[in-house]
Chain A
């Protein structure tokens, strides 16, 4: 019924394995049937489109053609960067001339328009919020959360067509439904420094440092993110940021799927809290235990 093609993306196999695992787990729990794309390949990520638009689109179009072969018309991915590439390719191929150029590079041509959506969008638009609420077994009462969307989940708005491009609310609404207190985080769609982490650590330290600082000032116990790169910059590089800025941030940065899975009472093994760099135990400890037997 609710069958959707699933594109994990390269980071889902490596740096954000816990995002991939928890996304699959919550979708299963909420009745969304994810079907892996057989023999999927890299979307081209950041470098491809800086070199050649047709080649870049072809990398994504190969995956879209595979989805078409599966007889599905929607593909979902947790990673906003993959999403951007899939959506851009689908959008550009609305021009028949461009589609012909792309198809010339593919073994199997991509003929249909495949809709690509983030897992977050699927959760927001295909799942009733009351269903999520009714499934909560461990409400997140007592924890203060800053929702950070990153710069490309909702932008450019003409392409992504999901939520608000300056003040998105999807994760805020989910976290509120789970019982958490969501702080009015103003830098939701600011850049974390993205892939500059390798080339210019100073830039990431400055930009991500600002994000962490704003969250701390609002009294957030933790961040939730929806992007592997954002999570990496805020979580894994928190130590580097502390060194560079002479700071002492110690804020865990979850994937929203992890906390959603936690509240739904899913198996800890599926959520991968152990993969986080900043120890989340203190923050998770703030969650009030539900009253025993009532």
Chain B
């Protein structure tokens, strides 16, 4: 075998603490190495050309590159050796940046360690053999989980691109958080007027199938061929017949359950359509408060319904669909501000969240767009906004900035002045973060044209005094304590991951970060991909995002899905497990331990049980290979012999050392 070795400087990243030419010289002494050199940037165009040239000139059979993490550039170099005419699996990478130069400062030690890692790679490469990918067809259908603005955008773009789309929404209607907003910043245009038509497009697009009141039950399969089970929850209304006329909601005598669409500011009937623009505009029964379902009497809705669509016997339904790609757009939840005892822990009715305030401002909200405080329905005069409630606060486990609270607070001060010209808004803030297009100008407008008083400092406590709330805080710019008598206090609550996101992530094999937001594949270069091929992220499920960013990412995720499914066939990774049937005793242990269900039990022609690997499902994790008592399963490209060769290269057994 003829092996070529390339030691990358990575600028000063590696060369500063590793003597690269010396490592290259050492590598030349390793068995089968016929060519070795160091290079400034192996991944650059001249760097890759040099590899290709060396393969051709020196007639190489395999290449080792010692540089950065294989997660970064293994595909790059595999493509390079392929262009040189070799099989892409005749390539090995040694990580001498993250594993050596970035963590050690002593040049001698680093140089020695780098040489040893290269030696391991060489020993593995000597046992590599060419592998060929299998090709498989894909399902031209996309699953979009979450019907907020990001999911809607992704679904519409995919559908317009010619893919079938299955949209699954947990709530009764799509629209997400944006549907609850009155106006949007920085244009102060009507949120539902912007979003409404898009929601209608979803309903009317023949390529989109919408499942509301539904959740993902399970996800199986692999990129291009996922099998998804959707749980369509019982709504006790036959949606095929329901016309959304609303007669039932008017007659329903039960008004006990809090109206979640209106952020619990008022109560809703037990059979309800959440809001006038709801998509689908269908009624659903809340089984917890419905008198018929809890006590077995009433049934008024069934009597008045002109289409006879009420069905108290309805059960959850499981629907199986095959899809080729998944777009996750599960959005966010708001921080539970009851963790702040100094703001009353919910004891004061006139301390509300910004989203509740948004419902008060909205013409379709519980007060018809009139600002009335919850305690006595009076119009407030002094409205105090407190920013960073549950964001940038380590003490409640939310050290990150939620990003859009500065902006929506500024918007709400403007709307407050519009609604109540005599009112005065005060905003307690830490810093103003408004980096988007026309954003800073917008905040300045709130201050300068609408007279919002911005006070830089945190609020230490809120307490009631007669019918006012005294907001006590600091003004750190003039260095004094301030107290503002408020009629209404609005808490600009921060953002946290949607409830249930972690459990969904487990089903999709997408990792959440420490706060429950989904982790993208690469924070800079793969912002919508995940580490599971074929699963893409859109919107605030990845981290706090405002509407423009969510829409942008929704389109980006759709583009990724379209790219993926535009290919007629996909290639499977050939680095999967292989069963040696001669050794296999058919014990089935491998099938039990495989987390992906990639091993099935079959019979050979003599009727003996044997294990068989389903190539396209196998993820190459290697769990089966260590489980097999016979050593009958080997992971291609990572066989026992290859791994032992690496270990021996690092710490040669005495008998081998003596031979040398």
Contact residues of A with B, CB < 8 Å? 164-167, 184, 186-187, 214, 217
A-B pairs with the 10 shortest C-beta distances? A166-B341, A186-B463, A166-B342, A167-B341, A186-B464, A187-B463, A217-B466, A164-B341, A167-B345, A217-B465
Point out which of A166, A167, A217 has the most chain B C-beta atoms below 10 A from its C-beta: A166
How many whole Å from B469's CB to the nearest CB in chain A?
9
Beta-carbon contacts of B341-352 to A below 8 Å, as 1s and 0s? 110010100000
Residues B345 and A214 in contact, CB atoms below 8 Å apart? no
Q: CB-CB < 8 A to A165: which residues of B?
A: 341
Q: CB-CB < 8 A to B342: which residues of A?
A: 166
Task: For the complex, give the distance between the alpha carbons of A186 and B463 in Å.
Answer: 6
Beta-carbon contacts of B206-223 to A below 8 Å, as 1s and 0s? 000000000000000000
Residues A214 and B341 in contact, CB atoms below 8 Å apart? no
Q: CB-CB < 8 A to A186: which residues of B?
A: 463-464
Beta-carbon contacts of B10-41 to A below 8 Å, as 1s and 0s? 00000000000000000000000000000000
Residue of A nearest to B348 (CB): A186
Residue tally, chain B, CB below 8 Å to A: 9
How many whole Å from A129's CB to the nearest CB in chain B?
22
The secondary-structure label for the interface of chain B is mixed
Q: CB-CB < 8 A to B341: which residues of A?
A: 164-167
Beta-carbon contacts of B450-467 to A below 8 Å, as 1s and 0s? 000000000001011110
Q: CB-CB < 8 A to B345: which residues of A?
A: 167
Task: For the complex, give the distance between the alpha carbons of A217 and B464 in Å.
Answer: 10
Q: CB-CB < 8 A to A184: which residues of B?
A: 347
| 16 CB < 8 A contacts A-B | A164-B341, A165-B341, A166-B341, A166-B342, A166-B461, A167-B341, A167-B345, A167-B347, A184-B347, A186-B463, A186-B464, A187-B463, A214-B463, A214-B465, A217-B465, A217-B466
Task: For the complex, give the distance between the alpha carbons of A166 and B345 in Å.
Answer: 10
Q: CB-CB < 8 A to A167: which residues of B?
A: 341, 345, 347
- Give chain B interface residues in 328-385, CB to chain A under 8 Å: 341-342, 345, 347
Task: For the complex, give the distance between the alpha carbons of A184 and B465 in Å.
Answer: 11
How many whole Å from A217's CB to the nearest CB in chain B?
6
How many whole Å from A52's CB to the nearest CB in chain B?
31
Task: For the complex, give the distance between the alpha carbons of A267 and B112 in Å.
Answer: 86
Residue of A nearest to B463 (CB): A186
Point out which of A165, A186, A187 has the most chain B C-beta atoms below 10 A from its C-beta: A186
Residue of B nearest to A218 (CB): B464
How many whole Å from A192's CB to the nearest CB in chain B?
15
Residue of B nearest to A165 (CB): B341
Task: For the complex, give the distance between the alpha carbons of A183 and B465 in Å.
Answer: 13
Q: CB-CB < 8 A to B461: which residues of A?
A: 166
Task: For the complex, give the distance between the alpha carbons of A49 and B345 in Å.
Answer: 34
Residue of B nearest to A184 (CB): B347
Q: CB-CB < 8 A to A187: which residues of B?
A: 463
Task: For the complex, give the distance between the alpha carbons of A186 and B465 in Å.
Answer: 9
Task: For the complex, give the distance between the alpha carbons of A186 and B464 in Å.
Answer: 7
Residue of B nearest to A164 (CB): B341
How many whole Å from B11's CB to the nearest CB in chain A?
47
Task: For the complex, give the distance between the alpha carbons of A31 and B136 in Å.
Answer: 80
Q: CB-CB < 8 A to B465: which residues of A?
A: 214, 217
Q: CB-CB < 8 A to B464: which residues of A?
A: 186
Q: CB-CB < 8 A to A214: which residues of B?
A: 463, 465
Task: For the complex, give the distance between the alpha carbons of A166 and B347 in Å.
Answer: 13
How many whole Å from B576's CB to the nearest CB in chain A?
53
Q: CB-CB < 8 A to B466: which residues of A?
A: 217
Residue of A nearest to B464 (CB): A186
Residue of A nearest to B469 (CB): A186
How many whole Å from A161's CB to the nearest CB in chain B?
16
Residue of B nearest to A187 (CB): B463
Task: For the complex, give the distance between the alpha carbons of A165 and B466 in Å.
Answer: 24
How many whole Å from A16's CB to the nearest CB in chain B?
27
Residue of B nearest to A168 (CB): B341
Task: For the complex, give the distance between the alpha carbons of A229 and B347 in Å.
Answer: 29
Q: CB-CB < 8 A to B463: which residues of A?
A: 186-187, 214
How many whole Å from B484's CB to the nearest CB in chain A?
15
Q: CB-CB < 8 A to A164: which residues of B?
A: 341
Task: For the complex, give the distance between the alpha carbons of A25 and B342 in Å.
Answer: 35
Residue of A nearest to B461 (CB): A166
Task: For the complex, give the distance between the alpha carbons of A187 and B483 in Å.
Answer: 14
How many whole Å from B409's CB to the nearest CB in chain A?
24
How many whole Å from B330's CB to the nearest CB in chain A?
33
Task: For the complex, give the distance between the alpha carbons of A186 and B460 in Å.
Answer: 13
Task: For the complex, give the distance between the alpha carbons of A232 and B464 in Å.
Answer: 25
Residue of B nearest to A214 (CB): B465
| Contacts beyond the supplied A164-B341, A214-B463, A217-B465: 4 A-B pairs with Cβ under 8 Å | A167-B347, A186-B463, A186-B464, A187-B463
Residue of A nearest to B340 (CB): A166
Residue of A nearest to B470 (CB): A186
Task: For the complex, give the distance between the alpha carbons of A167 and B338 in Å.
Answer: 12
Residue of B nearest to A166 (CB): B341
Task: For the complex, give the distance between the alpha carbons of A184 and B463 in Å.
Answer: 10
Task: For the complex, give the distance between the alpha carbons of A38 and B239 in Å.
Answer: 81
Residue of A nearest to B466 (CB): A217
Task: For the complex, give the distance between the alpha carbons of A45 and B483 in Å.
Answer: 32
How many whole Å from A125's CB to the nearest CB in chain B?
20
How many whole Å from A48's CB to the nearest CB in chain B?
28
Q: CB-CB < 8 A to A166: which residues of B?
A: 341-342, 461
How many whole Å from A170's CB to the nearest CB in chain B?
15
Task: For the complex, give the distance between the alpha carbons of A186 and B466 in Å.
Answer: 12
Task: For the complex, give the distance between the alpha carbons of A166 and B338 in Å.
Answer: 12
Task: For the complex, give the distance between the alpha carbons of A166 and B346 in Å.
Answer: 13
How many whole Å from A291's CB to the nearest CB in chain B?
35
Task: For the complex, give the distance between the alpha carbons of A39 and B347 in Å.
Answer: 47
- Give chain B interface residues in 459-495, CB to chain A under 8 Å: 461, 463-466
Residue of B nearest to A217 (CB): B466
How many whole Å from A152's CB to the nearest CB in chain B?
16
How many whole Å from A166's CB to the nearest CB in chain B?
3
How many whole Å from B4's CB to the nearest CB in chain A?
60
Task: For the complex, give the distance between the alpha carbons of A167 and B347 in Å.
Answer: 11
Task: For the complex, give the distance between the alpha carbons of A217 and B345 in Å.
Answer: 22
Task: For the complex, give the distance between the alpha carbons of A184 and B349 in Å.
Answer: 14
Task: For the complex, give the distance between the alpha carbons of A25 and B341 in Å.
Answer: 34
How many whole Å from B485's CB to the nearest CB in chain A?
13
Task: For the complex, give the distance between the alpha carbons of A167 and B341 in Å.
Answer: 7
Task: For the complex, give the distance between the alpha carbons of A164 and B347 in Å.
Answer: 15
How many whole Å from B518's CB to the nearest CB in chain A?
34
How many whole Å from A188's CB to the nearest CB in chain B?
9
How many whole Å from B29's CB to the nearest CB in chain A?
55
Task: For the complex, give the distance between the alpha carbons of A187 and B344 in Å.
Answer: 11
Task: For the complex, give the distance between the alpha carbons of A214 and B472 in Å.
Answer: 15
Beta-carbon contacts of B177-218 to A below 8 Å, as 1s and 0s? 000000000000000000000000000000000000000000
Residue of B nearest to A213 (CB): B465
How many whole Å from B482's CB to the nearest CB in chain A?
15
Task: For the complex, give the distance between the alpha carbons of A89 and B479 in Å.
Answer: 34
Task: For the complex, give the distance between the alpha carbons of A187 and B341 in Å.
Answer: 12
Residue of A nearest to B462 (CB): A186
How many whole Å from A15's CB to the nearest CB in chain B?
29
Task: For the complex, give the distance between the alpha carbons of A184 and B346 in Å.
Answer: 13
Task: For the complex, give the distance between the alpha carbons of A164 and B339 in Å.
Answer: 12
Task: For the complex, give the distance between the alpha carbons of A186 and B342 in Å.
Answer: 10
How many whole Å from A238's CB to the nearest CB in chain B?
20
Task: For the complex, give the distance between the alpha carbons of A166 and B459 in Å.
Answer: 14
Task: For the complex, give the distance between the alpha carbons of A214 and B463 in Å.
Answer: 10
Task: For the complex, give the distance between the alpha carbons of A214 and B483 in Å.
Answer: 15
Task: For the complex, give the distance between the alpha carbons of A217 and B463 in Å.
Answer: 13
Task: For the complex, give the distance between the alpha carbons of A226 and B517 in Å.
Answer: 46
How many whole Å from A93's CB to the nearest CB in chain B?
27
How many whole Å from B181's CB to the nearest CB in chain A?
32
How many whole Å from A257's CB to the nearest CB in chain B?
26
Task: For the complex, give the distance between the alpha carbons of A217 and B467 in Å.
Answer: 11
Q: CB-CB < 8 A to B347: which residues of A?
A: 167, 184
Task: For the complex, give the distance between the alpha carbons of A49 and B342 in Å.
Answer: 28
Task: For the complex, give the distance between the alpha carbons of A186 and B345 in Å.
Answer: 12
How many whole Å from A168's CB to the nearest CB in chain B?
10
Task: For the complex, give the distance between the alpha carbons of A279 and B346 in Å.
Answer: 37
